[in-house]
Amino acid sequence: MLLSYMLASTALADTQYFHKTFDGHIDGRYAFKMDLKNVDGSLSGSYRYVGKREDISLSGNIDGAGTFTMDESGNAGQRTGSFTGKVAGDALVGTWTSARGDRRFAITAHQTSEVIIGSKREILTQAVGTYALDRVSGEGGANAMWDSWRDRGGWESKVSSIYQAQREASDVTLTREDLRRLNSMNVTVDTTLTTRLTVDGKVLLSVPYREAGMQYEIALSHDSVVENDLKKLSPATTVRDEHLYLLARDAIDFVPAMSGSYLPDDAVDIATVRYSVVGKTFELYLRDGQCCGGTVFTFRRKNR
């Protein structure tokens, strides 16, 4: 379960936003724990009955007064029930209804924790340090996927694709140069709150601190799918969906210095840099400006 991560008086998150956990009961008998996130009125999350191992997925909507409706889904994606009710203060109350509508039970729950997003300065001050590359994962075209990750002090790497309706994976042989490059990649946040990407000891990307908004340098036109995604960002964007956005750029010149056997030789047109407030990781997302495909480099803080 989530703990309270950052306390601050100034919230920079979405217009409608919360991320809370609850303990509650259905019909006063069935105890559960719920993790619920509201982003711009869209609810997502899960709940689990106490003593059970499986999470049940939740999705729905909530209005500004806290009145919500959401469906629960089974492992196969089938609707198994629904919740209606209201979140007010630290309480969640309402009704659970079975998928066929033949059973209805009262639900009551109380909040146990909440993720609170601080100001940009507070977030980056907490993030000061060095972050080593932990994973490289991506997808492209209709079915290609690639993934490289740290494993017991070394690196594993695989690629996969769908053949005759089945996904088939194969190992990638990482060269000595690949391993050196992977181990050399770092993101650092210094005491001036400047964020830098370093590869092979060279600074490839530097994002100076600015008090508000992000470094937004999108000047070219891209296809409609990419343009719709980019519309979620702007020069004024700071925090969106629990991520602090620092950079969006479509003039990319540093990708060759990051490339190796683990990264397909595909076009890269856009780079974004963001920090996960909850996960406490940095993510560099390199993507194709023509619809589909991209790679995420995830950096995790080194032990102090």
State the CATH number of the domain containing residue 86.
2.40.128.120
C-alpha–C-alpha distance, residues 48 and 13, integer Å: 27
Alpha-carbon span 182 to 198, nearest angstrom: 11
Cβ contact 171:154 at 8 Å: no
- Indicate whether 199 and 136 sit together in one domain: yes
Quick one: pLDDT at residue 304? 60
Residue 94 CB burial class (10 angstroms; 0-12, 13-18, ≥19):
buried
Q: Which residues of the chain have pLDDT under 70?
A: 1-15, 142, 164, 266, 304
83, 114, 145: which is the final residue of a domain?
Answer: 114
Q: In this predicted structure, what is the pLDDT of residue 1?
A: 37
Does 286 fall in a domain? yes
Instruction: Assess whether 107 and 210 both reside in one domain.
Output: no
Same domain, 167 and 260: yes
Q: Which residues span the domain enclosing 271?
A: 120-301
Per the CB < 8 A criterion, the answer to whether 260 and 211 are in contact is no
C-alpha distances (whole Å) from 30 to each of 33, 42, 135 are 10, 26, 39
Give the pLDDT confidence of 60-96 residue by residue, as tens digits: 999 989 999 999 998 888 999 999 999 998 999 999 9
Domain boundary among 114, 142, 167: 114
> Facing residues of 84 across strands?
69, 95
CB 31 within 8 A of CB 105: no
Given 91, 114, 137, the domain boundary residue is 114
Number of folded domains that form the chain: 2
The per-residue pLDDT for 96 is 97
Upper half-sphere CA count for residue 208 (Cβ side, 13 Å): 1
The answer on 241 and 137 residing in a single domain is yes
